[in-house]
């Protein structure tokens, strides 16, 4: 996607490279190899962007992540309420695939803005059903609402801990789900939901957003 920051500038923090920005490339990286340099010694180049650690997980992220993705991804809330506030709409659930392995319940989903039925997130999630009370567990497998909404409906204390941020190539599968003609780069995150004590995992999620 034209103008999209490279991976090194977004998520791949290399402090030593930043420290040595502008220095000659060390000989051990050049000796015995042929490169397309026309003359002179190549220079090391660190990212010009500022990196910081975010949240309890300490995930590294630079200031190059554009809005609205930064506001939608860089937080420690559940995505259902965050997307609802951003789109000014209630968020619905469409389950694409599911597999119930007992305590581990897997599903591939789309979250939709209810009024427009516009997709607002693609997700793949592993839910630890054994950590939920019976009524909430039945509601989860009944798939009538997103997990984030059910956590609030059943007053289940929880903590959201993003562990990394993603920039992914849009494949035909996700493009079809989002209704895209092109294949842009998309942004997302890896997130884990814990109970209120942070001792037990409730769910592990990969969340990918459509183009803004």
Write out the chain in H/E/C secondary structure.
CCCCCCHHHHCCCCHHHHHCCCCECCHHHCCCCCCCCCCCCCECCCCCCCEEEECCCCEEEECCCCCCHHHHHCCCCCHHHHHHHHHCCCEEEEEEEEEEECCEEEEEEEEEECCCCEEEEEEEEEEEHHHCCHHHHHHHHHCCCCHHHHHHHCCCCEEEEEEEEEEEECCHHHHHHHCCCCCCEEEEEEEEEEECCCCCEEEEEEEECCCC
* Cα-Cα end-to-end distance for the chain: 13
Rounded Cα distance between 144 and 130, Å, is: 19
- What per-residue confidence (pLDDT) applies to 2? 44
Distance of CA 58 to CAs 24, 61, 75, 163, Å? 32, 9, 12, 8
Give 117-152 pLDDT, tens digit per residue.
999 999 999 999 999 999 999 999 999 999 999 999
Domains delineated in the chain: 65-208 (3.40.1410.10)
44 contacts 22 by C-beta, under 8 angstroms: yes
Mean pLDDT of 68-79: 87
pLDDT in tens, 8-51: 566 666 777 767 777 888 888 777 777 765 567 777 776 666 77
In the numeric block, which tokens belong to residue 171?
């494949």
pLDDT in tens, 123-132: 999 999 999 9
Q: Is the pLDDT reported for residue 3 higher than 60? A: no
């Amino acid at each position: 996607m034209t103008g999209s920051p490279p991976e090194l500038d977004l998520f791949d923090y290399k402090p030593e490279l930043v420290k040595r920005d502008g220095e000659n490339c060390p000989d051990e990286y050049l000796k015995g190899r042929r490169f397309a340099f026309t003359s002179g010694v190549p220079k090391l180049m660190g990212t010009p962007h500022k990196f910081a650690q975010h949240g309890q997980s300490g995930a590294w992220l630079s200031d190059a992540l554009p809005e609205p993705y930064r506001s939608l991804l860089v937080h420690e809330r559940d995505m259902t309420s965050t997307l609802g506030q951003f789109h000014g709409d209630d968020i619905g659930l469409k389950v694409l695939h599911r597999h119930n392995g007992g305590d581990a319940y897997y599903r591939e989903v789309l979250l939709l803005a209810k009024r427009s039925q516009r997709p607002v997130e693609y997700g793949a999630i592993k839910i630890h059903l054994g950590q939920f009370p019976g009524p909430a567990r039945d509601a989860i497998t009944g798939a009538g609402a997103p997990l984030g909404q059910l956590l609030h409906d059943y007053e289940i204390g929880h903590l959201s801990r993003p562990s990394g941020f993603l920039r992914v190539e849009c494949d035909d599968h996700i493009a079809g789900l989002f209704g895209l003609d092109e294949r842009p780069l998309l942004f997302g995150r890896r997130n884990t939901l814990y109970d209120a004590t942070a001792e037990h995992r409730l769910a592990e999620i990969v969340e990918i957003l459509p183009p803004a």
